[in-house]
Amino acid sequence: MKKKILFCAAEAAPLAKVGGLADVVGSLPAALRGQGIDARVIIPLHAGISWRKLGGQKIFSFKISIEGKREIINVYQLRIKQTIFYLLGNKTYFSGGVYEGDSVKKYLFFSRAVLAVLSDLPFHPDIIHAHDFHAAPIIVELASLSRQNRPALVLTIHNLQHQGWSSLKNIEAFSFRPSDFSSDAKNKQGDWFNLLAAGILAADKITTVSPNYAVEILTRAYGQGLEKLLYRRRRDLVGILNGLDVDVFNAAKDKLLLRNYQTADIKRGKYLNREAIRSYLQFPASTEPLFVFIARFSNQKGLDLFKSASLHRLAKRYPFQLVFLGSGEEKYEQLVADLSKNLSEMIRVINVFDESLAHNLYAAADYFLVPSRFEPCGLTQMIAMRYGAVPIVRATGGLKDTVQNNKTGLVFKDYSAVSFANVLEKALKLYYQNQTEYLSLQAAGRAQDWSWAASAPEYRRLYDLLGAI
Ligand code: ADP
C-alpha cells in the first residue's frame, strides 16, 4: 500500500507564496510521488487563492467553536499537476494574506481546524508532516495519543527565527490542553507557550532544510534560543537539502521569461533579458554587469552589509548596476531606499512581491547576491545558478552546502561589510578581467542538479523509519 502523508503548512506554491516554504510544500509532494508516496497538502484558503479558477471544488463544511463563537470552515479540494491540495476557508481567520494579522491566533486556528477535519477528510494519513510553528500545535496534540491511535509525526523547521509564542489564554481559546505542551516549551511562569519548541519536543522526527543548518542550530550562534532543546533531540533531527521544482525554474521553458534560453545560447539569451530589464528599470544603457538581490527584507538577509560608500568606491573602478526586489521590515526598506537615493544612477529598488519580475531578474542577472546572516537552506542561490546568474553568498546554512567557492560561485565568510565589499570586488574583477573564468563559474552552476532527485529518497527513508516505530 502507498504510504499516505499530509503536509500541513501556511503556504504552498503556486497557491500562496511568501517565501521558500511555499516552494518546498508545493513541489516536494510531486517528487515523493516518484517514491511511491501519496503526499497531499492542507493550507488555509488565504485571500487571493482563486480555487474556482483552478478547478477546485467545495467538498464539505463543518463548524467548530472558538471562545463560544461558532466558526464555519469550508473544505475545498483541488489538484495541481497531480498533487491534491485541501484548502480550509474561514471568514474570521483566513480572509487576509498568509501572515497578515495575528499570525499566532491564525495558525492556532488553522491547527485546530486541521485536527477537527482529519477524521472527515477523504484521506487518512499514515504520517502528519507539519511545517514550521504554524502547524506545530497539530503535532503537540496528536502526540498525546498512544502511538497505535495516531499517525506518525514529522516536523520540518524551515526557519528557526519564527517560533510562534502564544499566551495561555489563546492556547485555551483554541481548545488546546496546556498540559500537552512540555514545560520546556513554556516561559518560567507557564503562561507563554513556544509553539515551535513544543512541536520539536513532541514530534517523532524533526527535519530541517539543509545538512549544515541541522548542525548549526545546535549552537548558540544559530539556535535562536532552542539549541539545547534541539541538542536533546539530535538523534531524531536530520538535515535534508531542499530541492526545486525544476520545471518551474527552467530558463529554457519558463513562461514568465521574456526570452527563453538554453546552454547553447545562454550568452545571447541573458543579454536579451538583461537589456529588457535595463530598459524596464530605466537604467542607462550600458555593458556593466547586473547584480540582483531578491528576498524578504528582514534582518536575516544581510541588507545591512550594503554600504553606500563602499559600493560607490567599487563602482568608480568597476561600474555595475544593482537591483533589489523585495519588501518587509521598514528599517530595511528605509536602508535600501537610502542606498538608492545616494547611488541613484546604479541602483533600482522594487518593493513588491512579483513572481514574474523575479524570474526575469534571475534570467537577467550576471551576479546574484545572498549575503545572509543565517540561511536555513535558501532557494534563490539555486534558482540563480539554474538561470546562469553566478551566486555570491555567505558561508552559512544551506548556502554553504550549495555554493562551492570559486567553482560554482563566490563565498565569503565573515558577516561584515568589509568581507562583503571584498567579495564584490573579487566578483567585479573576475567579470571585467577574466571572462573565461567567470563563464566557467556560470557553466558549473548551471550544471548542478537542484531537483528533488537526491532529497526525495531521503524523505522516503525517514518516513520508512517511522513505519517501524
Ligand atoms: P525565504 O524562505 O527565507 O524567504 P528562500 O530563498 O528559501 O527564502 O525562498 C525565497 C523564495 O521567494 C524564492 O522562490 C524567491 O524567488 C521568492 N521571492 C522572495 N522575494 C520575492 C519577491 N519580492 N518577489 C518574487 N519572489 C520573491
Does domain 263-447 fall under CATH 3.40.50.2000? My reply is yes
List b or e across 164-183, with b for residues whose CB sees 16 or more CB atoms inside 10 angstroms: bebebebbebbebeeebbbe
From residue 405, how far is each of 24, 259, 393, 412, 442 by CA, in Å?
Answer: 25, 29, 9, 8, 12
Domain ranges across the chain: 3-243+453-465, 263-447
Are the C-beta atoms of 107 and 139 separated by less than 8 Å? no
Residues 6+ away with beta carbon under 8 Å from 368: 291, 292, 293, 294, 362, 380, 381, 384, 389, 390, 391, 392
From residue 397, how far is each of 221, 256, 340, 373, 379 by CA, in Å?
Answer: 12, 30, 29, 9, 12
**Mean pLDDT across 130-137:** 98
**Mean pLDDT across 223-232:** 98
Q: Is the pLDDT of residue 393 over 80?
A: yes
Strand order in the sheet with 390-394: 347-350, 321-325, 290-294, 367-370, 390-394, 410-412
Quick: pLDDT tens for 93-115. Answer: 999 999 999 999 999 999 999 99
What pLDDT is stored for residue 67 in this prediction? 82
**Domains 3-243+453-465 and 263-447 fall in the same CATH topology:** yes
How many degrees, rounded to 5, is the angle at CA 351 between CA 401 and CA 344?
100
Say how many Å lie between the CA of residue 379 and the centre of ligand 1: 7
CATH match for 3-243+453-465 among 3.30.420.40, 3.40.50.300, 3.40.50.2000, 3.10.580.10: 3.40.50.2000
Q: Which atom of ligand 1 is nearest to the CA of 352?
A: 23
The structure's pTM equals 0.96
Say how many Å lie between the CA of residue 419 and the centre of ligand 1: 24
What are the phi and psi torsion angles at 206 (to 5°)?
A: -125, 135
| Helix (H) or strand (E) run with residue 24 in it | helix 20-33
Quick: pLDDT tens for 272-325. Answer: 999 999 999 999 889 999 999 999 999 999 999 999 999 999 999 999 999 999
Ligand 1, atom 12, lies closest to the CA of: 19
280 lines ligand 1 (CB under 6 A): no
CA-nearest of 309, 354, 355, 351 to 327 is 351
- Cα-Cα end-to-end distance for the chain: 18
**How many CA atoms, within 13 angstroms, populate the side-chain half-sphere of residue 227?**
12
143: cell is 502526540
Say how many Å lie between the CA of residue 305 and the centre of ligand 1: 19
288 lines ligand 1 (CB under 6 A): no
Instruction: Please state, in angstroms and rounded to a whole number, the distance separating the CA atoms of residues 395 and 258.
Output: 33
**How many CA atoms, within 13 angstroms, populate the side-chain half-sphere of residue 273?**
32
pLDDT band of residue 467 (cuts 50, 70, 90) is confident
